[in-house]
């Protein structure tokens, strides 16, 4: 009895420790991300399964740096850019980030609406998109930060459905292990495009801004922002590691599901999350279809507040406006108005002729251009003792950070080449 109680207490302590890192990691697997992973699995089977193993340490290293920047400087990444870098760098990031994030929001809202329509065919997808947008806007504006953080944290549990779906279909364990630990690279443009898409979806610039800013909110809420010690940094690193591990596993199981069920079922072209869900139904059964669809809505409910929150943090910090999810509407009107505008613009993309697939392509291009620059700046800040004091990067973090920089730079180069050559 005492042993069970001790185990329960340990779990509760660990659960309380989790926060921004878990939410950030979960938001990375948004509906647009699920569409990308589904495309990879359907088109190439398990050939891209290894990317989740490679991406995890790179994601974790960058997000840990962003979290430390937020905690140590008591300001978001935009604030650090504004204080220590030329203004043109800041404005360039703003120009690239805003349209990319809005298009990402639009793609996610469209994905959630389409999946809602699959579950309830009598209601049009557009109605679901509007309802989800209004619901999210209301929750973000009227709920205090503590409640929002708690809701997002518990919504992450929904994503456990993706750990179940693959096992509703017969699996070849040997093939899975080989694909996981032995990288497959095919030197054709379509395969390279999928790899670039996975990288762009996984290591997304909006997560950098969100992580730093929300850590500031978290510390402000816990009243720990005055003294930053190694214990706090260690707790934050554990939170980020767990969040990124969770994100990597969700990515892994989505590729595993679509790579076995759809690819082996002869379905190799998937453009949207609703297509992936529909394709699973006859091949893996109603339960797999239902869980996959519910997961899409759950991830959207996590990701869209993170996306809209990140763009609002970026703009508010740029112009020195009052900001924060812990503020009431009348205390930070501009901050919440930006969130509302980003959601409305994202929703409107579905009505002005920009398809979710085109939005994803444009988003990938913009993220691909900004990610290497931002990673370089994050590395510079994280290694600057004048800014970070004793909390500068360690050797391992720097190795992983520079690896992420070089990989994302190569991916950006390939992405630009493909766009201009029409490959």
> What pLDDT, on a 0 to 100 scale, did the predictor assign at position 227?
65
Confidence (pLDDT) at 23: 77
Predicted pLDDT at 1 = 53
The interaxial angle of helices 189-202 and 356-382, nearest 10 deg, is 60
Looking at residue 293, what is its pLDDT?
A: 83
Determine the pLDDT at residue 308: 92
In 10 A of CB 181, how many CB atoms? 10
Nearest Cα residue to 278 out of 259, 298, 261 = 261
Q: How many helices (H) and strands (E) does the chain have?
A: 20, 0
Distances from the Cα of 311 to the Cα of 264, 340, 342, angstroms: 40, 11, 8
Q: pLDDT value at position 9?
A: 61
C-alpha to C-alpha distance for 166 and 286, rounded to whole angstroms: 13
Whole-angstrom distance, CA of residue 416 vs CA of residue 411: 9
Separation of alpha carbons 24 and 362, rounded Å: 22
Instruction: Give the pLDDT confidence score for residue 341 in this predicted structure.
Output: 95
- Given this model, what pLDDT does residue 406 score? 93
Give the residue extent of every domain in the chain.
24-421
Residue 67: which of 19, 30, 101 has the closest Cα? 19
Which 8-state DSSP code applies to residue 260? I
pLDDT at 223: 60
CATH for 24-421 (1.10.1740, 1.25.40, 3.30.70, 1.20.1740): 1.20.1740
Per-residue pLDDT of the chain in tens (423 residues, 90 and over written 9): 555 555 556 655 655 666 677 777 777 778 888 888 888 888 999 999 999 998 889 999 999 999 999 888 888 889 888 888 888 888 888 887 888 888 889 888 988 898 898 889 899 988 999 999 999 999 888 887 667 777 776 776 777 777 777 777 777 888 989 999 998 888 777 888 888 888 888 888 888 888 888 888 877 766 654 566 777 787 888 888 888 888 888 889 889 888 888 888 888 887 777 888 888 777 767 777 788 888 888 888 888 888 999 999 999 999 889 988 888 888 889 999 999 999 999 999 888 877 776 777 677 777 777 888 889 999 999 999 888 888 888 899 999 999 999 988 887 787 777 767 755
Other CB atoms within a 10 A radius of the CB of residue 356 amount to: 25
Give the span between the Cα atoms of 66 and 274, in whole angstroms.
Answer: 33
- For residue 384, give Cα distances in angstroms to 62, 91, 142, 228: 15, 22, 39, 17
């Amino acid at each position: 009895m005492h042993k069970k109680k001790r185990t329960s207490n340990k779990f509760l302590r660990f659960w309380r420790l989790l926060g921004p890192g878990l939410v950030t990691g979960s938001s990375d697997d948004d509906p647009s991300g699920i569409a990308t992973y589904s495309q990879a699995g359907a088109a190439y089977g398990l050939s891209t399964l290894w990317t989740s193993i490679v991406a995890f340490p790179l994601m974790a290293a960058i997000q840990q740096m962003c979290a430390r920047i937020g905690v140590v400087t008591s300001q978001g990444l935009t604030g650090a850019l504004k204080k220590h870098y030329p203004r043109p760098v800041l404005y360039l990031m703003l120009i690239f980030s805003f349209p990319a994030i809005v298009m990402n929001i639009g793609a996610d809202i469209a994905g959630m609406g389409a999946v809602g329509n699959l579950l309830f065919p009598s209601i049009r997808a557009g109605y679901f998109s509007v309802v989800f947008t209004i619901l999210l806007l209301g929750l973000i504006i009227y709920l205090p930060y503590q409640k929002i953080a708690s809701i997002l944290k518990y919504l992450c549990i929904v994503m456990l459905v993706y750990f179940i779906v693959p096992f509703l279909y017969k699996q070849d364990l040997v093939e899975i292990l080989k694909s996981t630990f032995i990288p497959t690279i095919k030197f054709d443009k379509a395969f390279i495009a999928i790899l670039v898409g996975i990288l762009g979806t996984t290591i997304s610039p909006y997560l950098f801004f969100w992580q730093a800013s929300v850590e500031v909110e978290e510390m402000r809420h816990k009243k720990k922002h005055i003294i930053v010690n190694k214990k706090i940094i260690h707790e934050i690193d554990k939170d980020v590691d767990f969040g990124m591990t969770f994100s990597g596993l969700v990515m892994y199981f989505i590729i595993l599901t679509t790579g076995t069920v759809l690819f082996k079922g002869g379905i190799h072209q998937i453009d949207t999350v609703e297509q992936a869900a529909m394709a699973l139904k006859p091949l893996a059964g109603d339960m797999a279809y239902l869980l996959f669809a519910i997961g899409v809505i759950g991830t959207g409910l996590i990701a869209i507040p993170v996306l809209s929150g990140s763009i609002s943090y970026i703009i508010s910090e740029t112009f020195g406006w009052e900001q924060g999810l812990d503020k009431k509407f009348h205390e930070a009107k501009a901050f919440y108005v930006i969130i509302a505008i980003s959601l409305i613009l994202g929703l409107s993309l579905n009505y002005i002729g920009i398809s979710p697939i085109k939005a994803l392509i444009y988003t990938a291009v913009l993220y691909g251009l900004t990610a290497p620059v931002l990673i370089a700046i994050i590395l510079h800040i994280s290694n600057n003792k004048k800014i970070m004091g004793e909390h500068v990067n360690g050797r391992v973090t720097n190795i992983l950070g520079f690896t992420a920089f070089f990989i994302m730079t190569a991916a950006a180069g390939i992405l630009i080449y493909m766009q201009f050559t029409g490959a």
